[in-house]
Amino acid sequence: MMAHGSGGKKMHELIRNLFVKYFRNPFLESGGDAAVVPPEPGHIAFTTDSYVVDPLFFPGGDIGKLAVSGTINDLAVSGAAPRYISAGFIIEEGFPVKDLESVVRSMAGTAKQAGVQIVAGDTKVVNKGKCDRLFVNTSGVGIISEKHTHIATADHVKAGDQVIISGYVGDHGMAVLSQREGFPVKTGLKSDCTPLNDLIGKVLERFDHVHFMRDPTRGGVATALCELAEGRQFGVLIKEPAIPVREEVMGLSEMFGFDPLYVPCEGRVLIVADQSVSQGILHTLHGHPDGENAAVIGEITTGNWGKVVLETIAGGRRIIHMLTGEQLPRIC
């Protein structure tokens, strides 16, 4: 059965039943216009993102898993413990309900895995051609304790801090690209998309002196680091040989002229931390399934204010810029 028109009673019933069936929690089931959740000590972290990934289903995930992971990760990298998520769907007329069900099921599974609840949802069906199959928006709320509020601001980042990436770079972007129609290469690549709140939670639990975190999504590691450095009184130096890149991603990048540093990751975190704790953090990451290939890739420098510099494999140094324009459109 297809979603059609502005939906009649039957359509809305169907969708509501899907949500209630899969998202299973007392907030949704109470059916009110707003989810009323209990207060907790600490600050509230709040984030939102919209997802237009093409194709909707790809190796390692789908738009649903991507959306829930993405929002959880935005909260987690700010130092927050994610708690509640809302999900908004804009559905093109004719979009198969069974595909919608797959997406919803996937979102429920990801949220459950992460210990987060999806407490509010909305759907709108639009005429054919007014949106490309399915767009998803997720907003999320989490709790940050006072001692972690500096993480999102990067105000404690200082020269000598180490830059760590939690695993292989570029898996998501390349996996999605490889599924595009007409892509001539067959690859076994899977998206890395996954919620990282457990991984990050363990790091924050065991170590103080984490000064900054970011998930390198749109624009990849390079863009995330450029955003960190911009306007600051420190620089970032990263070393090309230290950056973990999967063989297959390296091969595809060489073939098509991509730079893995700019390719989006959806299950990785960049951590900037004091030198004294960086090895400990690395050890913790290595001991977790989502941090197996973590590595120190660089450091914060006293010179080169506001800039990101890459030391190439040949030993030369060049400046890394923010990405201009889309290297890879509709990856997330």
Partner 1 sequence: MCVSIPAKVIALHGDMAEVSVSGNTFRAGIQLLDDVREGDYVLLHAGFAIQKIDPGEAEETLKMFREMNQDGE
Partner 2 sequence: MMKYISEYRDRQVIDRLAGQIASFRDTKAVFMEVCGTHTMSIHRFDIPSLLPAGLRLLSGPGCPVCVTPVGYMDHAIALARQGKHIIATFGDLVRVPGSTSTLEKARAEGADVRTVYSITEALELARTHPGRKVIFLAIGFETTAPATAAGVLQAQKEQLRNFCILSAHKVMPPALEMLASEGVKIDGYLCPGHVSVITGEEIYRFIPRKYGVGCVIAGFEPADILLAILLLLKQVTDGKPRVENAYKRAVRKEGNPKAREMMESVFRPVDTEWRGLGMVKKSGLVLREEFASMDAAGQIRVMVEPPVEPQGCICGQILKGIAAPSDCPLFGKMCHPGNPVGACMVSSEGTCQNAFKFQSDG
**Footprint on this chain of partner 1 (rule: CB under 8 A):** 184-189, 247-248, 250-252, 254-257
98 binds, among partner 1, partner 2, none (CB under 5 to 8 A by kind): none
Q: How far is the CB of 246 from partner 1 (least distance, A)?
A: 9
Q: How far is the CB of 241 from partner 2 (least distance, A)?
A: 7
Q: How far is the CB of 289 from partner 1 (least distance, A)?
A: 22
Cβ atoms of residues 195 and 73 within 8 Å: yes
188 binds, among partner 2, partner 1, none (CB under 5 to 8 A by kind): partner 1
- Considering the complex, state which of residue 284 and residue 327 has its C-beta at the smaller distance from partner 2: 327
Q: Which amino acid is at 311?
A: E
Q: How far is the CB of 258 from partner 1 (least distance, A)?
A: 10
Q: How far is the CB of 314 from partner 1 (least distance, A)?
A: 14
What one-character DSSP code corresponds to residue 56?
S
List, as one string, the DSSP characters of 79-102. T-EEEEEEEEEEEETT-BHHHHHH
Cα–Cα dist 73/68, whole Å: 8
Other C-beta atoms lying within 10 Å of the C-beta of residue 260 = 24
- Considering the complex, state which of residue 35 and residue 189 has its C-beta at the smaller distance from partner 1: 189
307 binds, among partner 1, partner 2, none (CB under 5 to 8 A by kind): partner 2
Give CA separation, 312 vs 65, 247, 258, 318, in Å: 35, 18, 16, 7
Q: Please give the residue ranges that form the binding site for partner 2 (CB under 8 A).
A: 182, 184, 241, 247, 250-251, 254, 257, 304, 307, 309, 312-319, 321, 324-325
Q: How far is the CB of 209 from partner 1 (least distance, A)?
A: 38
By C-alpha distance, which of 268, 260, 302 is closest to 288? 268
Which helix H or strand E contains 204, and what residues bound it? helix 197-206
Give CA separation, 181 vs 54, 171, 175, 186, 317, in Å: 10, 18, 13, 12, 37
- Considering the complex, state which of residue 129 and residue 257 has its C-beta at the smaller distance from partner 2: 257
Q: Give, rounded to a whole angstrom, the gap between the first and last alpha carbons of the chain.
A: 27
- Considering the complex, state which of residue 46 and residue 256 has its C-beta at the smaller distance from partner 1: 256
315 binds, among partner 2, partner 1, none (CB under 5 to 8 A by kind): partner 2
321 binds, among partner 1, partner 2, none (CB under 5 to 8 A by kind): partner 2
Cβ atoms of residues 83 and 37 within 8 Å: yes
- Considering the complex, state which of residue 31 and residue 315 has its C-beta at the smaller distance from partner 1: 315
- Considering the complex, state which of residue 5 and residue 55 has its C-beta at the smaller distance from partner 2: 55
